[in-house]
Amino acid sequence: MAALSEKEAEAYLDARPRYPIDWFKKIAARTQDHKFAWDVGTGNGQAAIGLVEHYENVVATDINEAQLQRAIKHSRISYHHTPTTISEDEMVDLLGGENSVDLIVAAQAVHFFDLNVFYNVAKRVLRKEGGLIAVWVYNDIIISHEIDPIMKRLVDSTLPFRTPIMNLAFDGYKTLTFPFETIGMGSEGKPITLDIPHKLSLKGFIGFLRSWQPAMKAKEKGVELINEDLITKFEEAWGDETQVKDVFYKAHMIVGKIPEEKFESDQVLSNKGRLLLETEVGRNQKRPQPSDEGDRQSKKQNTSEDDACKDKPSSVFSTHYRF
């Protein structure tokens, strides 16, 4: 995420929903160990505070210092500012080294990352056995019949200002590269869809819009999408300005693990074994029935061959490798 001003970060904190406790419970139940979790792109720590209920220690990182200053404090959550200049090796060291993390979570964040760098680090630090990576994004908000059409027009007006990474979020991660093996909770191209309930005031909603990345991008280009006319329309549609509404954010999630991979030699050996088996079966099917004299000669020959083979080591074996 681009750096927010202190005022924008405060509004963002008020409007950002709390992720359902059930999400963390279900994901944590699928990891083998519960010693260490990494919340990458933590923002104000919304995901970190959910993770710490299930993991002994949580490292939460972000490039945005204004967000980290407002992060939810906890004795077992360690917050770290990680500037874009940090190297992959430095990031791996910060996270305890390779094969050390039980769960990686990127909540409302992965579309802002350099995916090649992030996935390289993730594959290095994630436990090969029993480790998981979960990414999710919310890209729509459902408030009321009066407000939703106005919001829809605003969303449509952001199209000329969206960047490719913003479109990843607007697409609900359907076009996100995700080089991990599915565990049945979404997969590359097929995220699962979930609801996030939240209570939102009019002030919080307007603050959310002003700190919304597409609106900020438009403002950088000299276009104020969240103008006074639009705010007036939202205020009229909201009704009582003191009313706190029950809203739903539409979320999309993918959870995966390090894929198991076989080396090419495994496939060659497997194919060779099938070929030998098929050849032997074919030979047996085509072999004519011997006469009594031929049978005796065959048995004698086979006995000699068996004796000769007893001292030979087996030349066919298989080794299974894991990534």
**For residue range 230-273, what is the model confidence (pLDDT) as tens digits?**
999 999 999 999 999 999 999 999 999 999 875 444 454 445 44
Give the percent of the chain with pLDDT over 70. 76
DSSP secondary structure letter of residue 190:
B
Tell me how far apart the alpha carbons of residues 157 and 276 are, in angstroms, rounded to a whole number.
65
Taking 90 as the threshold, does the pLDDT of residue 137 lie above it?
A: yes
**Nearest CA-CA partner of 9 in 198, 193, 208:** 208
| Bigger pLDDT: 266 vs 170 | 170
Tell me how far apart the alpha carbons of residues 182 and 185 are, in angstroms, rounded to a whole number.
7
DSSP secondary structure letter of residue 282:
H
pLDDT of residue 79: 98
Name the phi and psi angles at 126, rounded to 5: -70, 135
| Helix locations, the chain, DSSP H | 6-15, 21-28, 46-51, 65-69, 88-94, 115-125, 148-157, 164-170, 202-210, 213-220, 228-238, 264-286, 292-309
Strands 245-257 and 132-142: antiparallel
- Copy the structure tokens of residue 278: 């098929």
Tell me how far apart the alpha carbons of residues 98 and 257 are, in angstroms, rounded to a whole number.
15
Q: What share of the chain is helix, strand, coil (3-state, %, to 5)?
A: 45, 20, 40
pLDDT of residue 14: 63
pLDDT of residue 115: 94
The string of pLDDT tens digits covering residues 71-85 is 999 999 999 999 999
Q: Which amino acid is at 134?
A: A
Tell me how far apart the alpha carbons of residues 193 and 186 are, in angstroms, rounded to a whole number.
9
Indicate the range of 14-28, 138-152, 216-230 predicted with least confidence.
14-28
Taking 90 as the threshold, does the pLDDT of residue 15 lie above it?
A: no
DSSP secondary structure letter of residue 115:
H
Distances (CA, A) of 107 to 50, 123, 147, 231: 11, 18, 26, 28
Tell me how far apart the alpha carbons of residues 8 and 67 are, in angstroms, rounded to a whole number.
10
Taking 80 as the threshold, does the pLDDT of residue 295 lie above it?
A: no
pLDDT of residue 16: 75
The string of pLDDT tens digits covering residues 300-310 is 444 444 444 33
pLDDT of residue 11: 56
Query: What does the pLDDT average to over 284-297?
Result: 48
Q: Which amino acid is at 166?
A: M
**Nearest CA-CA partner of 245 in 147, 152, 166, 155:** 147
Q: What residue spans define the domains of the chain? A: 6-141+167-198+248-257
pLDDT of residue 316: 25
Residue 208 banded pLDDT, cuts 50, 70, 90: confident
Residue 109: CB partners within 8 Å, gap ≥ 6?
Answer: 1, 40, 41, 42, 43, 135
Give the percent of the chain with pLDDT over 90. 69
The CATH number of 6-141+167-198+248-257, from 2.60.200.30, 1.10.287.130, 3.40.50.150, 3.40.50.300, is 3.40.50.150
**Nearest CA-CA partner of 136 in 224, 20, 53:** 20
